[in-house]
């Protein structure tokens, strides 16, 4: 069969395939999400997320140091707030001695070089499980009062020494309000990683179990469609993300990652800012579940899912696979 081009010539050996490889995932591309809980008890497994645990401050510090030693550059912290500290206003979020700020101090001591990202949203702190305070009739999240609280919360986190505050609430105007509050208080060097294209997704369930926001409301399926994005709307997602850039975000995020690779790719073409993508709890859980049933090769499916996210344009990937990938030296 005469042909001038035979693409298989570039695939015929492992060495050649490595020479022509276009996309690589290095531990330095990864951010590890970590859950922190009160007390000195042993790590508490998250039932729907195999290998993921809620950690005491002591164990959190050890895990952070271990991740840093493996080449992971950043961790994102998520607190498990005790039920008795939750209320409709999320008041614990403004406690200068709250759990997540103590976690920042513990990690700073154990792994001073790690880049620290903290979640700026009220869902870990509210008794109803929503990302902000509710309107007087309780029918929706009240945007502007929520933004005011988030800006104060961000200043507390900056004062504690985080590198990036990460507003995940999807309120209108919150990036600008946070940037202005940080700058007024002298925290010009604190970055903002904005959850810019965060969709009202069915893939968040295991995370809500992990932090207890679903249990607070007595449900695993909170309806957040008045503030999170419609999965059917790519143009709206890009408009939201670019608005965050205009308001002063230093990096933008797409969440979830795998089901929204088209959004990730389009956003990569539209901005020069760093882009993060969050491979969320449901994505992680489904790979584990299918592999346990023998329907997928676990390692290959895990690596392929992450390479797809990187290939679509993510500079950083938040993933619960971070430790495994770092131990393997990347993929």
Q: Which listed residue (86, 109, 224, 255) is catalytic?
A: 255
Q: Could you report the per-residue pLDDT of 294-329, keeping only the tens digit for each?
A: 999 999 999 999 999 999 999 999 999 999 999 999
Q: Among 114-123, 139-148, 175-184, 211-220, name the one with the lowest average pLDDT.
A: 211-220
Q: Could you report the per-residue pLDDT of 47-56, keeping only the tens digit for each?
A: 999 999 999 9
**205, pLDDT greater than 90:** no
Q: Which listed residue (86, 109, 198, 224) is catalytic?
A: 198
Which pLDDT score is estimated for 214? 56
**90, pLDDT greater than 50:** yes
Domain ranges in the chain are 25-327
First to last CA, the chain: 36
**118, pLDDT greater than 60:** yes
H/E run at residue 45: strand 44-45
109 labelled catalytic: no
- What is the rounded CA–CA span in Å between residue 245 and residue 234? 17
H/E run at residue 195: strand 191-198
Nearest to 209 by CA among 89, 68, 44: 44
Query: For the domain with range 25-327, which CATH number is right: 1.10.645.10, 3.20.20.70, 2.40.40.20, 3.40.50.300?
Result: 3.20.20.70
CA dihedral 11, 15, 20, 21 (to 10 degrees): 100
Q: What percent of the chain has pLDDT over 70?
A: 97
Strand partners for 80: 37
Q: Could you report the per-residue pLDDT of 221-275, keeping only the tens digit for each?
A: 689 999 999 999 999 999 999 999 999 999 999 999 999 999 999 999 999 999 9
Q: Tell which phi-psi region holds residue 123, choosing left (phi > 0), alpha (psi between -120 and 50) or beta.
A: alpha
Burial of 137 (0-12, 13-18, 19+ CB in 10 A): exposed
Q: Could you report the per-residue pLDDT of 276-293, keeping only the tens digit for each?
A: 999 999 999 999 999 999
Which pLDDT score is estimated for 221? 61
Q: How confident is the model at residue 216 (pLDDT cuts 50, 70, 90)?
A: very low
- What is the rounded CA–CA span in Å between residue 128 and residue 273? 34
Which pLDDT score is estimated for 213? 67
């Amino acid at each position: 069969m005469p042909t001038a081009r035979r693409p298989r010539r570039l695939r015929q050996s492992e060495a050649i395939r490595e020479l022509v490889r276009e996309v690589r995932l290095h531990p330095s591309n990864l951010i590890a999400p970590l859950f922190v809980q009160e007390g000195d008890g042993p790590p508490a497994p998250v039932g729907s997320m195999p290998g993921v645990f809620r950690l005491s401050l002591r164990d959190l510090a050890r895990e952070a140091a271990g991740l840093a030693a493996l080449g992971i550059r950043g961790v994102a912290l998520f607190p498990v707030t005790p039920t008795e500290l939750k209320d409709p206003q999320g008041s614990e979020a403004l406690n200068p001695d709250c759990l997540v700020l103590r976690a920042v101090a513990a990690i700073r001591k154990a792994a001073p070089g790690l880049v620290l990202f903290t979640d700026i949203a009220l869902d870990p702190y509210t008794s109803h499980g929503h990302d902000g305070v509710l309107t007087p009739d309780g029918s929706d999240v009240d945007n502007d009062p929520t933004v005011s609280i988030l800006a104060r919360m961000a200043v507390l986190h900056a004062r504690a020494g985080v590198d990036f505050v990460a507003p995940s609430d999807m309120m209108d105007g919150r990036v600008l309000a946070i940037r202005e509050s940080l700058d007024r208080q002298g925290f010009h060097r604190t970055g903002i990683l904005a959850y810019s294209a965060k969709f009202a997704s069915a893939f968040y369930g295991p995370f809500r179990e992990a932090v207890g926001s679903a249990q607070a409301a007595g449900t695993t399926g909170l309806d957040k469609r008045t503030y999170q994005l419609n999965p059917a709307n790519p143009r709206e997602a890009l408009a939201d993300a670019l608005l965050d850039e205009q308001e002063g975000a230093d990096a933008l995020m797409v969440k979830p990652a795998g089901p929204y690779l088209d959004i990730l790719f389009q956003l990569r073409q539209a901005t020069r800012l760093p882009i993060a993508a969050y491979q969320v709890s449901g994505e992680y859980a489904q790979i584990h579940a299918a592999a346990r049933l023998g329907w997928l090769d676990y390692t290959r499916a895990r690596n392929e899912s992450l390479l797809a996210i990187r290939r679509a344009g993510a500079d950083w990937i938040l993933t619960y696979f971070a430790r495994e990938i770092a131990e393997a030296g990347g993929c």
